[in-house]
A and B are shown apart, each in its own frame.
Chain A
Amino acid sequence: MTKLFLTTALAACIALPALAAEPAEGEKLADRQTYDFWLLDAVKTLDPQKNTDRPGADVINQLFEGLAIEDARGAMIPGAAESWTLSDDRKTHTFKLREARWSNGDPVTANDFVFAWRRLVDPKTASEYAWYAELANIANASEIIKGEKPATELGVRAVDDRTLEVTLTQPTPYFLKMQSNTALFPVPQKVVEAEGDNWTRPGKLVGNGAYVLTGHDLGVQVTMKKNDNYRDAASTILTDLKFTTVNDVNAGLTRYLAGELDYVEIPAGQYPRLEKEYPDAATVSPNACTYAYIMNLSDKGPEALKDKRVRQALMLGMQRDIVVNNILQGGQKPAWTWTHWAIEGFVAPDNPWEKMTQENRTARAKELLAEAGYGPDKPLTLTLQYNTSEDHKKIAVAAQQFYKQLGVDLTLNNVEWKVHTDRMQNQDFDIARYAWCADYNEPSTFLDYFRSTGKNEGRFVNADYDAALDHSKTAEDPSGDYRKAEAILADEIPAVFVYHYASVAMRNPAVKGVPLENPMNTWYAKDLYRIAP
């Protein structure tokens, strides 16, 4: 990994001009450089250290900039840092910051990062994303979160105004990839300290991103204009951004069609029709989340699921093609791995089940169940719990039918979201619907979930699996370890992987530069531009 890491860093240093909006030959820019983005829900916070979700990140990514940002494919390129180096023991990262200014004209310094990162882990901040610093293995992060050490002990320090040094507790191959998450963005110490919890209000918020906040009506809209103090303001083309909250996807679609929005998600099942009617606007792009039915393997789980043959039968009986092609119809892909297919550097292991036809899979599933002692005399009964949503319901009803063909009686249990989550975290379920989304563009973000010490709500325990992932942290090239881990999941079946997400959206074809190949769905308005009709 060092080699790979250093070459990336080196390449980044040489190719200094960062990505920016670059109109192609012959494209005429529109007079009005605006972008109207749709959000499903109110933005919970504009505070980078307190944000926890994708919509919040879409907004904050325009207002602030981390050390490294993502290019159109999701690879890391210099952001607030112009270059970086890694020590020989791979535990110390040193970032050289660019000369840049906050939107109020103050210089961006290494201290602003130190302040922000300490703030993330400080119990006083009580950030729901404090665990991100633990995931990054920043020295002392865990102790500070627990309140055992003061926040000033965090392994990050400003060597001088433009040099930031980060100390990790262990080599962390994905550390650089974590930098595009808002949790690690810098915040202006002076403003935050002066304004307290109100510092994110329009007129007060100061950022180092390409745009400045001009308005925020909770649950209605967020507006921004171009930041002339941004380091690359000269190549930023869009001048005004508007993020409109429309809670109803169908209402959002109507408003897109009425020309009020430039982007809106396509409601489930409508992609085929819209793709025919608006081929230029209906788009599909990978979205790094995986949908799964988690099996409860803990002591509180059903006895039947402790038998690997039963789990394999359930995995085989899941007719993924029907889910993807007949129910979702929006460019999703059948899932045979936990890691999303579009994650950078991920190569799936060979999976014999995947190559079989569904008839053969179903036949094999019946055999496995019979071997495990289940059949017409002793039918298998299980409960599937899912949270309220039309789509989850459709898939659950389909699963009920698929499993009926195997002679399995699946009872559906629909509960409200918080109840669902609460029960899952207390191992109070048989099989539960779940989805996991990548925190960074690397397989370990998925695979760490099933570690015996991971979130792992079904309490899957496998020593070989843990060993493979332990090894990956220090391996020159961890991809072999990741393949091995996936192969274990494909055989042990701690969960039935159903499908890999895709983002299906209507996007105004006049807005160019939208990155459709980045599975993290990160986009920066500074890279976009609007062409004349």
Chain B
Amino acid sequence: MFGFILRRLAVAVPTLLMLIVVSFVLMHAAPGGPFTQERALPPQVLANLEAKYGLDRSLPEQIWTYVSGIVTRFDFGPSFVYPDRSVNDIIAQGFPVTLTYGAIGFALSVVIGVALGVVAAIRHNTWLDTLAVGVSIGAQVLPNFVIAPILVLVLTLWLRWLPGGGWGGWPYWVMPIIALALSHMASIARLTRSSMLEVLGSNHIRTARAKGLSERAVILRHALKPAMLPVISYLGPLFVTMITGSVVVDMYFSTGGIGRSFVDSALSRDYAVMMGITILVGALTIFFNLLVDVLYAWIDPKIRY
């Protein structure tokens, strides 16, 4: 197992490097640059800016400086668009925000989603099943850009219970969490339900029941674990998606999270911020995929690395 983990980590380094190089090249291939503006800058001012940010050097040189800055100083460079902030500052401010609402949202969608899915599978073809499926389909078809305004309308404007946006204590967390988690919860519920149904029809469950085990034991000890396999492979990438935020949630609730920064940086060609968040998302994805693989081996004894 340790050998496996080490091998995977060793592959992660060239993967990240590839990610950096490809993103860097793609980014520079897009027309316009961070200093392209409606009011074109005088050539000399533009040249001064490009010199300051190293854009006057060749692409390989830029990539080299960038990567060595990260490796030696963990410095992701200055933002091109926010002159008094570095990329480290921007991520340090935005990531805890998305991590908070993303992680809580993730936990809630897993707990509620799995519970809904299991209940629906056990009570297959009863009103409970229909209700659970109905709720999850409903939640899945309502995108967060529809949910978000409805939440603000009801909870802020009508009831005056919660602040309509911004970031602070828990009252600010509620609406972003609901808006983010709802559709993911629904996906998990549906995935759990179908996987659970499949497992419940399998031979080892029939055996367990034949042995006279209680239904509770059958479900919790024998059915749930194998039924979770497809769900878990879905959860790794989902966790990363959720903790790195959502542009809709960040925009609508002005949370200051990195979901919005990511999209903004792409549109404004803020190369450094875009690279920083790309690397963050890339590294997290690699790490959580590894974690999922380890979990797999733990759940399913048949899997050996």
Contacts and interface: CB of A to CB of B under 8 A. Distances in A.
B267 A417 contact: yes
Contacts of B89: 218
Given A254-B153, A419-B32, A421-B32, A45 B82 contact: yes
B166 interface: yes
Given A128-B49, A255-B156, A145 B42 contact: yes
Interface string B120-136: 00000000000000000
Interface string B249-272: 011111110001100100111000
B252 A128 contact: no
B267 A219 contact: no
Interface string B149-176: 1001100110010011111000000000
A205 to B, nearest CB: 10
Given A52-B37, A255-B165, A123 B252 contact: no
A411 interface: no
B112 to A, nearest CB: 26
A418 B269 contact: yes
Given A220-B256, A418-B32, A50 B84 contact: yes
B264 to A, nearest CB: 8
Nearest to B155: A258
Contact of B45 (A145, A258, A416, A434): A145
B44 A247 contact: no
A511 interface: no
B93 to A, nearest CB: 6
A292 interface: no
A50 B252 contact: no
Contact of A126 (B51, B149, B261): B51
B39 interface: yes
A147 interface: yes
Given A197-B84, A254-B157, A258-B164, A418 B36 contact: yes
A495 interface: no
Nearest to B163: A260
Contacts of A423: 31
A131 B40 CA distance: 10
B90 interface: yes
Interface string B29-43: 011110111111110
A455 interface: yes
B31 A419 contact: yes
Interface in A400-458: 416-419, 421-423, 425, 434-435, 455, 457
B83 interface: yes
A246 B255 CA distance: 9
A455 B149 contact: no
B164 A254 contact: yes
B225 interface: no
Interface string A246-278: 111011001101101000000000000000000
Q: Which of A50, A217, A245 has the most CB of B within 10 A?
A: A217
Interface residues of A, number: 53
Contacts of A45: 82-84
A46 interface: yes
Contacts of B51: 123, 126
A228 B250 CA distance: 36
A198 B160 CA distance: 38
A146 interface: yes
A146 B44 contact: yes
A422 B32 contact: yes
Contacts of B36: 418, 421-422, 425
Contacts of B149: 250-251, 254
B44 A246 contact: no
A47 interface: yes
Contacts of A251: 148-149, 152, 164-165, 251-254
A42 interface: yes
Contacts of A250: 149
Nearest to A246: B254
A287 interface: no
A457 B33 CA distance: 18
B281 interface: no
Contacts, number: 146
A199 B83 CA distance: 11
A180 interface: no
A417 B255 CA distance: 24
Contact of A46 (B30, B53, B84, B156): B84
B48 interface: yes
Q: Which of B166, B254, B260 has the most CB of A within 10 A?
A: B254
A217 B84 contact: no
Interface string B12-48: 0000000000000000001111011111111011001
Nearest to B157: A258
Contacts of A217: 93, 167, 256
A219 B261 CA distance: 9
B42 A218 contact: no
A288 interface: no
A300 interface: no
Contacts of B165: 244, 246, 251, 255, 260
A131 B254 contact: no
B164 A416 contact: no
Contacts of B148: 251
A218 B38 CA distance: 24
Contacts of B44: 142, 145-147
Contacts of A28: none
Contacts of B211: none
Contacts of A260: 156, 163-165
B85 interface: yes
Interface in A198-233: 198-201, 217-221
Contacts of A219: 94, 254, 256, 260-261
Contacts of B94: 218-219
Nearest to B172: A220
Interface in A465-520: none
A217 B40 CA distance: 30
Contacts of B81: 44
B52 interface: yes
Contact of A128 (B30, B32, B35, B93): B35
A127 B41 CA distance: 10
A218 B267 contact: no
15 contacts: A42-B256, A47-B84, A124-B52, A145-B42, A197-B84, A201-B84, A218-B93, A220-B167, A221-B166, A251-B148, A254-B157, A417-B32, A418-B33, A418-B36, A422-B36
Given A248-B252, A260-B163, A418-B268, 5 more contacts: A42-B82, A50-B83, A126-B49, A244-B166, A247-B254
Interface of A: 42, 44-47, 50, 52, 123-124, 126-128, 130-131, 134, 142, 145-147, 197-201, 217-221, 244-248, 250-251, 254-255, 257-258, 260, 416-419, 421-423, 425, 434-435, 455, 457
Interface of B: 30-33, 35-42, 44-45, 48-49, 51-53, 78, 81-85, 89-90, 93-94, 148-149, 152-153, 156-157, 160, 163-167, 250-256, 260-261, 264, 267-269
Q: 9 smallest A-B Cβ distances: which pairs?
A: A418-B32, A220-B256, A126-B52, A255-B164, A422-B32, A123-B48, A219-B256, A247-B251, A422-B31
